[in-house]
Amino acid sequence: MNVRTVGDPKLLDYVVEKDFEDTVSRVILSAIESHERGVGRSRLVRLLRGKDPGAILSGRYDLLDHFGRLSLLSSDQLLDFLGSLERLGVIETKEPDFPRLHLTGKGRTAMKRRKDIPAQIPWPLPPRELPIPRDPELFSDLKKERNRIARDEGLPPYCVATNLSLAEIVNRGVTDIEELSAVPGMGETRARKYGERLLSMVQEMG
């Protein structure tokens, strides 16, 4: 299979639809925002990396939009990001006995205004091999439909499906909701919510 790495600048729009740091920052802030009482640093990292089987069974994190969304990053890299976001003043730690992360007023404003969040990271894009879509035309159609869904929902495109997820849909030959829910970054919630429209593109090309 032909592969390229995330470090290839020509593929940056294939991996994420916006600036890398801003995209990761928004996923993190959105995940923290979804926890009304805050979330522990370690639990948040496990959630974003999709590496907490116990949480799936007990907390139903597999149904949350954020589960596994940043699986391409290591735990240390995510912790670096959290530190950068704290220094920016968009998140803060409360409850000293049981520390939990919360959005600050500045963080909530940044999310609402959709302005770039200038997190600084001390490492380059992580080396990771990514499959090139086997059917570029279907991949293009899926991106267009994903973007239409995003406009209808008033969401950034990556909140509907990342380009990586769309490439996996193409390469796995996904044909139904169950298969779609198993695609990295999709999950049951997205598959149920957006699957019918995305799969209609697959059926048209089939």
Same domain for 136 and 67, yes or no, is: no
Query: What is d(CA 46, CA 53) in angstroms, rounded to the nearest whole number?
Result: 9
- Per residue in 89-130, pLDDT (tens digit) is 999 998 777 899 999 998 888 887 766 676 665 555 554 455
**Which residue would you say has higher pLDDT here, 128 or 1?**
128
Same domain for 141 and 104, yes or no, is: no
> Can you give the pTM of this predicted structure?
0.56
Residue 104, class by beta-carbon neighbours within 10 Å (0-12 exposed, 13-18 middle, 19+ buried)? middle
In a domain, 163, yes or no: yes
pLDDT(12) > 50: no
Q: Rounded mean pLDDT of 151-168?
A: 82
Can you give the residue range of the structural domain that contains 51?
A: 14-113
In a domain, 161, yes or no: yes
Around 61, how many Cα atoms within 13 Å sit in the side-chain half-sphere? 25
Same domain for 105 and 20, yes or no, is: yes
Give the pLDDT confidence score for residue 200 in this predicted structure: 92
CATH code of the domain containing 35: 1.10.10.10
The number of folded domains in the chain is 2
pLDDT(14) > 90: no
Same domain for 107 and 41, yes or no, is: yes
Domain end, chosen from 113, 142, 176, is at 113
